[in-house]
Structure 1
Amino acid sequence: MNTHRPAAFLYSVMILAVLSGCASSSAKPEGGAPPAPSLPVLKVAEVPATTYREYNAALEGKVNVEIRPQVDGYLDKIFVDEGAYVKEGQPLFRINDRPYREQLSNASALLLAAQANEEKASLEVSRLTPLVQNNVVSDIQLKTATAAYQAAKANVAQAQAQVSNARINLGYTLITAPVSGYIGRIPLKTGSLVGRGETQPLTVLSDVKEVYAYFSMSEVDFLRFKDKTKGNTIADKVKQLPPVELVMADNTIYPEKGRIETMEGQFDKTMGAVSFRAVFPNASGLIRSGNTGKVKIPEAFAAAILVPSEATFELQDKVFVFAVGDSNKVTSKPIRISGKNGNWYFVEKGVSAGEKIVYTGLDRLRDGAVIAPETISLDSLLKARPL
């Protein structure tokens, strides 16, 4: 009987157990690492599109007239209310006119006296003329009478000027609208003492049939405008700009489109910007002086690289995307945005057509992370959110 067979059998069983344990341990992931996250990935492409550049704007009526008194006195009557629409020539205010009526009466009386003296001097010249011709009196008397007559004529002219001035001042007591428009705030009330020395106007009258939108363009944007817009001169380039839109303070789009008319001749050194003026029709009076908004200038691209805003993140004033590379590793890349339309960015530099970027879930990613990409279609996104 062979006594070594049970020992050999036991040894074989132990070897198989050890090998089985090694195989099972090698089948487990090292350190229990989690699987790669599944994230939607978008292939960047070029499409024809229109982007917009937005600039903060201050809105003013085409004509803003400060209504100021031309004479001193107490405010007798206010004919209009704040916010009312008035027509050119319509009465607005009346200043107490009694002192000015008295001044006119006094000036008129002085004129009558001066005219009487002129007539008397004229008669004296007429009386002396034949006497001098007949050598009855010396010509020195005629010369004296003629000089008195000229002085009387001058007094009449001066009196007439005083009457005209008094009449003008009397007319200034009734203040009328120089243009048609809307009345602004009226800070003074009936009975207030007003005059030419007041720093505050009686009101401001705004003609808002057309409104001006004043906005500033940075030096970088201005150089871009100068290089990309056709025209030999700046004035020609301004004329070539397309119609612009106005975004109101509540982010609604004003129904009428406007046009850019002029730009200032110099840059503001403190702001590093140059001002432009756009004009918008406002026949319905929806816009008033003092409103604010944004001017949107369109720019058409034959082929633009589109990136949805959800696929970007900001870091230290720069915009980044996560590009998907070999072995599905992601890398953050800065991009330069040339414009925006809704939730779409137009990328000038940073990514190229055909590259893949992560669409959502960026907050869970770091450079070098591996993902399980789930490809989504750019066309499907554009159908859901058209430009």
Structure 2
Amino acid sequence: MKRSSHNYVTKTVTVLGSIGLLIILNSCTTSSGNAGGGMQPPLPSLPVISVSNLAATTYREFPATVEGKVNVEIRPQVDGYLEHIYVDEGAYVRVGQPLFRINDQPYREQNSNASAALLASQANLEKAQLEVDRLTPLVKNNVVSDIQLKSAEASLQSAKANVAQAKAQAGNAQISLGYTLVKAPVSGYIGRIPHKIGSLVGRGEAQPLTVLSDVNEVYAYFSMSEIDFLQFKERIPGNTLEEKIKNLPPVELTLADDSFYSEKGKVETVEGQFDKTTGAISFRAVFPNNKGLLRSGNTGRVRIPTVHNEAVVIPQDATFELQDKVLVFVVGDSNKVVSRPIVVEGQTSNYYFVKNGLKTGEKIVYTGLSRLRDGAVIDPQPLSLDSLLKAKPL
């Protein structure tokens, strides 16, 4: 009986000890959970940029087509077979240089006939003049009737008219003969020559013999939409459109391979009205081309610069768009952020130039915008705009 009682007491103590241990463990676990639930999550650390003014230049680009300052279609003035081609495609020729020869034999014959007809009419004129000279004293002496003199004078006038007509015909024949040798009206580069020796050419031919381009200077034609044109008139100083065009700085030309043409150009003229079909108005810029690197038909983009003496510049990465508006998160008191719309007046590939919405000295969040909401508190990490400009230039 004593051993049984002792075993019972031992088991009871063991059970009570286990229960006590479970209570202690449960208490520690509960205490640890309460402590974890009471901790605040850490504030997000985000880079922040201080807004400042910079001197910078932005560009607006407009698609452009290049044409030679003079583009002349060389067309035959007479009909005939193409007898000789003196130049090759792409060659540079000077004014007055022979280009083509059309078979001139028929026109030489016409010229000979016209010259002979002129000689005959001149002989008749001399004969008529002699007749008038013979009859004039006879009429004064009443030897012959004045009717004979008047008839002779009429014949003289008719002979003079025939001579004038023969001279005109001879001149036309000479001109036609001269047209058989086609010369360059201006200096420039020869375009495509569609006809070959032996081809029948003439004034009614649809294709010209070639196109001659004077490309010492080239024109770049580009167009602005109505909105761009209104902004252009507002942005460029000047009382009239002519003054505004004169005040435009030199423009650049970006070629089809995105390279820059070495010479800068100048906008010269603008059309008098908008194109009703496209709603755009055309401008013309002139570029020097002494090396002949540009040819008619080249394409590219005209870059018009805008100089900003004191512009509020911010990275595009520091903005987001909502309902066609560009916004930033401005850091306010107690490091709370609030979204604010801005008005952009220009841009580069990496930066915006802000017209309204930000002031110098204000701070904006650079990255991590997708996690922010109005009123959120952040741990700002200052970031220098100069360091960004070194990594991503304007």
Same fold (TM over 0.5): yes
* Aligned residues of 1:61 and 1:207 also touching (Cα < 8 A): yes
Tell me, yes or no, if structure 1 residue 25 matches structure 2 residue 30: no
Matched residue, 2:72: 65
Deviation at 1:225, TM superposition (A): 1.9
- Among residues 271, 288, 297, which one is paired with 2:278 in the alignment? 271
Q: Distance in 2 between matches of 1:315 and 1:107?
A: 84
Task: Say which of 353, 365, 379 aligns to 1:357.
Answer: 365
- Once the two structures are superposed, the pairs formed by residues 173-192 of structure 1 within 5 Å of their partners are 173-192=180-199
Q: Distance in 1 between matches of 2:27 and 2:44?
A: 34
CA distance in 1 between counterparts of 2:201 and 2:86 reads 16
Query: How many angstroms does 1:160 deviate by?
Result: 0.4
Structure 1, residues 222-246: CA drift from partner, whole Å, max 9, x if none? 2222123222211111111111111
Match of 1:232 in 2: 239
1:368 pairs with 2:363: no
Deviations 1:270-323 (A, max 9, x none): 22221111111111111111111111111111221223344456788x574652
- Measured after TM superposition, the shift of residue 95 of structure 1 is 0.9
Q: Distance in 1 between matches of 2:147 and 2:358?
A: 106
How far apart, CA to CA, are the structure 1 residues paired with 2:76 and 2:340?
Answer: 64
1:218 aligns with: 225
In the other structure, the counterpart of 1:323 is 329
Among the aligned pairs, what percent are the same residue? 63
Q: TM-score, normalised by structure 1?
A: 0.87
List per-residue Cα deviations over 1:62-116 (Å, max 9, x = no partner). 1111111111111111111111111111111111111111110111111111111
SS at match of 1:117: helix
One of 339, 343, 350 as aligned partner of 2:346: 339
1:249-288 matched pairs, under 5 angstroms = 249-288=256-295
**For residues 221 and 11 of structure 1, do their structure 2 counterparts lie closer, same or farther at Cα, with a shift above 3 Å needed?**
same
Query: What is the match of residue 128 of structure 1?
Result: 135
1:356 is paired with a residue whose SS is strand
Tell me: CA distance 1:329–1:195, structure 2 relative to 1, closer, same or farther (3 Å).
farther
How far did 1:161 drift?
0.3
Which residue number corresponds to residue 50 of structure 1?
57
Query: Following the alignment from structure 2 to structure 1, what is the Cα–Cα distance between the partners of residues 173 and 119?
Result: 15
| One-letter amino acid of the structure 2 residue matched with residue 357 of structure 1 | V
Aligned equivalent of 1:82 = 89
- Structure 2 CA distance, aligned partners of 1:313 and 1:85? 55
Of 95, 99, 103, 2:102 maps to: 95
Alpha-carbon spacing, 1:54–1:293, altered in 2? closer, same or farther (3 Å): same
| Residue 174 of structure 1, CA deviation | 0.7
Paired AA for residue 205 in structure 1: L
Provide the rounded CA distance (Å) in 2 between the counterparts of 1:98 and 1:27.
Answer: 115
Partners of 2:269 and 2:382 lie apart in 1 by 48
CA distance in 1, matches of 2:342, 2:201: 61
Q: TM-score, normalised by structure 2?
A: 0.85
**Does the alignment pair 1:152 with 2:171?**
no
Residue 172 of structure 1 aligns with which residue?
A: 179
Structure 1 counterpart of 2:154, one-letter code: A
The structure that has the greater radius of gyration is 2
For 2:351 and 2:392, the matched residues in 1 are separated by 9
Of 91, 95, 104 in structure 1, the residue corresponding to residue 111 of structure 2 is 104
2:373 alignment partner AA: G
Matching residue of 1:293: 300
CA distance in 1, matches of 2:275, 2:37: 64
Instruction: Assess if the C-alpha contact under 8 Å between 1:74 and 1:194 holds in 2.
Output: yes
Partner SS for 2:76: coil
Q: Distance in 2 between matches of 1:200 and 1:374?
A: 70
CA distance in 2, matches of 1:330, 1:194: 79
SS in 1 for 2:293: coil
1:121 Cα offset (Å): 0.9
Partner Cα separation in structure 1 for residue 34 and residue 79 of structure 2: 103
- After superposition, the Cα gap between the structure-2 partners of 1:178 and 1:120, relative to the gap in structure 1 and judged at 3 Å, is same
Distance 1:315 1:118, change over 3 A: farther
Pairing 1:209–2:241 present: no
- In structure 2, distance between residues paired with 1:312 and 1:204: 52
Q: Deviations over 1:109-132 (max 9, x none)?
A: 111111111111111111111111
C-alpha separation in 2, matches of 1:319 and 1:179: 55
Query: Measured at CA, do residues 109 and 366 of structure 1 come closer, stay the same or move farther in structure 2, by a change above 3 Å?
Result: farther
Separation in structure 1 between the aligned mates of residue 176 and residue 211 of structure 2, nearest angstrom = 22
In 1, Cα distance between the equivalents of 2:81 and 2:182? Answer: 13
TM superposition shift of 1:383? 2.7
SS of 2:213's equivalent in the other structure is strand
Whether the aligned pair in 2 keeps the contact of 1:44 and 1:357 (CA below 8 Å) is no
Quick one: which of 308, 326, 335 aligns to 2:315?
308
Q: Secondary structure at the match of 1:163?
A: helix
